[in-house]
Structure formats: structure tokens, C-alpha cells
Amino acid sequence: MKKILLIGTGSIAERHLKNIIKLDRSADISVYSRDERRAKNFSKKFKKKINIEKKSIRKKYFTHIIIASRTSSHNKHLKLLSKNGKNIYCEKPLPWDNDIKILKNKSFLKINNFKIKIGYQIRFNPAIKYLVKELLKKENKKIFLVKILCGQNLKDWRKNSDYKKLYSAGKKNYGAVYWELSHEIDLLNHLLGKITTVYSEHKNTENLKIKVHDLSNTILNFKNKKISCSISLEMISPILYRKLIVVTTSNFYEIDLVNNTVLKKNKIRSKYLKFKSDRNKMFKEYMKNFLSNKKYSKNFPFANLRDGLNTSEVINAMIKSNKTNKLVRL
């Protein structure tokens, strides 16, 4: 029987727990939160017995651990619980704090790199899966341009909440526009490999009347690749958009990650594909493979600990580049 520990009681923790119950109703599930009363209220949402764990979780054994707590606690839990579970899933991003030095340690990485899976589900988007197969074709051997464009008005993120109190508005640590880019940065790492240089500019447009940056533009370079790559994100757009453009010497691709569509064009023909829009399917697929202890493969290309660390390193470089107005080498 699977013995699962879920850390956290927010909306993402609720999504994971709903999927786990659908995938394996016989699993022994425990929930932990710093606020025990919050954990008890959370457990009552489900038609299944959920155990409430107290401060002794460090000493207990679990077959699977899911870390879905606040971002600032991710590294602390990874450091403390890496010996407790055979398999660990951690939500993104990994904060750039003192604990990250331990996670980056060679011996820690050697033991835990593939045991720890980071929650970058966008790798499992059907449009991205299609693009990955396309880029393996001989005709697309030479990629020379990649652009990622993302935007949505922060006021529209949570309809029933004060947007100024949202995480991304800087109400807590690791808010601001650049931390919202972690999915896209991991996607670039997945498609093109390790990022080697970063030049970034962030702005506070003052449109939202928040203290953090709400607009970001970044230029990235990759090891041994002559590719022009840029990524932008803003939190003031009147519409939601999330697009990836890839241009090779043979083909042009435009991927719409909101509507799950792919447009492929070249001199001869144009092809348009639309995939089913089921966002939870990516989460459920990831969780199914995680609970099954699946290893990394073409069918399950999860983001490992090193990938998570690389993404946070790039975000930290973006912040540094903006402050110094200089190119940062990684």
C-alpha cells in the first residue's frame, strides 16, 4: 500500500489530493500543515479518511512525499525529508535561499536528482509533446529563433480576491513577474538545454499600483547553440495569452498554450492542430507516473532536482542582470 504525505493545504495541494484519490483510493494519505487546524479543515473536503500529521513527519516513513506548501518552504522540506521517502514531488519554483546551497551539493544531487521531481507540468502539454517530436526531425536540425510571450492582467487571476493581496503582487516572498516565468524557463531548458547567459530588464509600470515589477523582458543564450531567444511576461494585458514561437530553417511554429493549438508553416504548406484543453490532465498524468515510481523517459520527461535548480539560478540571474544592467553568465 502506498503511504503518501501531502505537505500544504492550498489550492494546488487540493488539486493533487483530488487526483491521488481518483488514481488510488486505497492509498494511506496524510496531510501536514504548520497550522494543524487548517489541516483538519482541509481534510474534511474529501470523502476519504485523511490522516493529520503533526511535527514528527521528519522521523516517519512514507513511500511518496508531495511538497505543495508555500514557495519559501520548498527547499527546507526537501532538505529535511529527502531521506524519508522513496519518491518526492515538489511544487515549483525552488526559492533562491540559504538552503539551496545544500540542494546544489554534489553528493546531495547524486543521491536525490532523479528521486526528486519538480512540478513543471507544462512539459506534458500535448502541444509541447508535439513540438518536441517535430524538433527531433532532421528538417528542424537548425533552430535559430525562439520567442515566448506571456501576459494576463493580475486583476483577472483570482476573480473573488483582492489582486493586491495575491502572491504575485509581492504580498509574500517570491512574488513579482520574474518568478511567474519559472514554467517558461523550465520549458526552454527542456527544449534547448542549459542556459548560459542572461540579460534582463524588469519594469514597474505602476498601472496596478503594486510595489513589485509587473513587466519583464529577457534575452537568453544556450551552450553550443547559435539561437536568438527571448522571453517576456507582463501582468497588465487586457487578455490572457501564452505563446511559444520557434523558427527553424525549414519551418515556423506558433504554439498557443492557452488554447492548446499548433500552427506549422513553411513555403509549401500550412498545418493547424488543436488539442483538447484539459489542464488537469497534465497534473493527473504527472501524478500517475509519480505514484507509479516511473523513471525518466521520453514518455515521462519530468523536471528533476537539477532542472529545478537551473530554473531558479536563471531567475536569480535575471534579477541580478536587471539590477546591474549587465549580461550575467551562469
Of 85-89, 193-197, 234-238, 326-330, least confident by mean pLDDT is 85-89
Looking at 116-130, 154-168, 241-255, which range is the least confident one? 154-168
Question: Which amino acid is located at 108 in the chain?
Answer: F
Domains and CATH numbers, the chain: 3-118 (3.40.50.720), 122-276+297-329 (3.30.360.10)
pLDDT digits (tens, 9 = 90+) for 303-323: 999 999 999 999 999 999 999
User: What mean pLDDT do residues 109-127 have?
Assistant: 95
pLDDT for residue 184: 94
pLDDT category of residue 17 using cuts at 50, 70 and 90: very high
Question: Does residue 206 or residue 29 have the better pLDDT?
Answer: 29
- pLDDT score, position 185: 96
What does the mean pLDDT of the chain come to? 92
Q: Which tens digit of pLDDT belongs to each residue from 216-235?
A: 999 999 987 889 999 999 98
Portion of the chain with pLDDT greater than 90, in percent: 79
Q: What is the pLDDT of residue 20?
A: 97
pTM for the model stands at 0.93
Q: What is the pLDDT of residues 152-202, one digit of tens each?
A: 988 887 666 776 776 666 655 666 677 888 999 999 999 999 999 999 999
Tell me the percentage of the chain whose pLDDT exceeds 70: 95
Judge whether residue 118 has pLDDT over 60.
Answer: yes
Instruction: For residue 278, name the pLDDT band (cuts at 50, 70, 90).
Output: confident
Decide if pLDDT at 47 tops 60: yes
Per-residue pLDDT band for 208 (boundaries 50, 70, 90) equals confident
pLDDT of residue 154: 85
pLDDT at site 170: 67
Mean pLDDT along residues 80-96? 90
Chain centroid to CA 50: how far? Answer: 27
- For residue 74, pLDDT over 90 is answered with yes
Query: Who has greater pLDDT, 276 or 144?
Result: 144
Mean pLDDT of 80-97: 90
